Amino acid sequence: MVFSRISRVWLVLAACVMTLFSATLLAQGAPGGKKYMELSPAQPTEPGKVEALEFFSYSCPHCAVLEPLLEKWIKGLPADVIVKRVPVAFNASMKPLQQLYYSLEAMDRMDLHPKAFQAIHEEKKRLFTKADIIAWAVAQGIDRAKFETLFDSFGVMSKVSRADQLVNAYKIQGTPSVAVAGRYVVSPSEAGGYQETIDQADALVKQIRAAK
């Protein structure tokens, strides 16, 4: 049991290292000095809206830095722009963190979304297994029985599967990444920083809205 627990932690940490390396490769491949990647083919988005997807993982330290900047940006967006979060798992050990996000969403407890980042990156809690995640959720005042039922439910697992499909369709190799209008993907390595990522995503949103 101890070996399994340690292995899971190291797998998650290794995934974060792989994420940063992959993002660097993407930045080197961006054509014409652009601060974003163009998707081919473009992906379908919600009709009548300008859609932005944030690909993230709770285990990713770069996502933890971007989160408050993203939240501030979301609050100032016009009504026809929607932002959806997509939890990413680059290996099986990261799946429980996807389930954590969708369980919080199902319980309408997204107030705990930033606290999950805080728990992992500031409080150094190891929220990498189902048992540890449930224990943390209960400590936040969530009903254990309801959370346990949701965690492995068909609804949550269907959303996890959909998230995996989006990661593949958008060719996401690193987190955090922000996709805009199914056509562009921006990350800190390409944009030149965390705030720069938000600024570039915002510029793309404005470009899309102006062309409507």
pLDDT at 118 over 60: yes
- Which pLDDT score, from 0 to 100, does residue 33 have? 72
DSSP string across 48-76: TSEEEEEEE-TT-HHHHHHHHHHHHHHHT
pLDDT at 207 over 70: yes
Pairing mode of beta strands 50-56, 81-87: parallel
Least confident of 18-22, 66-70, 105-109, 164-168: 18-22
> Tens of pLDDT along 177-204?
999 999 999 999 999 999 999 999 999 9
The reply to whether omega before 96 is within 30° of 0 (cis) is no
**Span 23-29, average pLDDT:** 41
- Which pLDDT score, from 0 to 100, does residue 169 have? 97
- Which pLDDT score, from 0 to 100, does residue 212 have? 76
**Span 25-33, average pLDDT:** 48
- Which pLDDT score, from 0 to 100, does residue 126 have? 93
- Which pLDDT score, from 0 to 100, does residue 32 have? 56
- Which pLDDT score, from 0 to 100, does residue 21 have? 43
- Which pLDDT score, from 0 to 100, does residue 14 have? 42
Mean pLDDT over each residue of the chain, to the nearest integer: 89
Instruction: For residue 38, report the phi and psi dihedrals to the nearest 5 degrees.
Output: -100, 135
> Tens of pLDDT along 57-90?
999 999 999 999 999 999 999 999 999 999 999 9
Long-range Cβ contact pairs of 37-44 (< 8 A, separation 24 or more): 37/184, 37/185, 37/186, 37/190, 38/183, 38/184, 39/170, 39/171, 39/179, 39/182, 39/183, 39/184, 39/185, 42/181, 42/182, 42/183, 43/169, 43/170, 43/179, 43/182, 43/183, 44/182
- Which pLDDT score, from 0 to 100, does residue 70 have? 98
Residue 4 — very low, low, confident or very high, per pLDDT cuts 50/70/90?
A: very low
- Which pLDDT score, from 0 to 100, does residue 34 have? 84
Sheet of strand 184-186: strand arrangement:
37-38, 184-186, 177-180, 50-56, 81-87
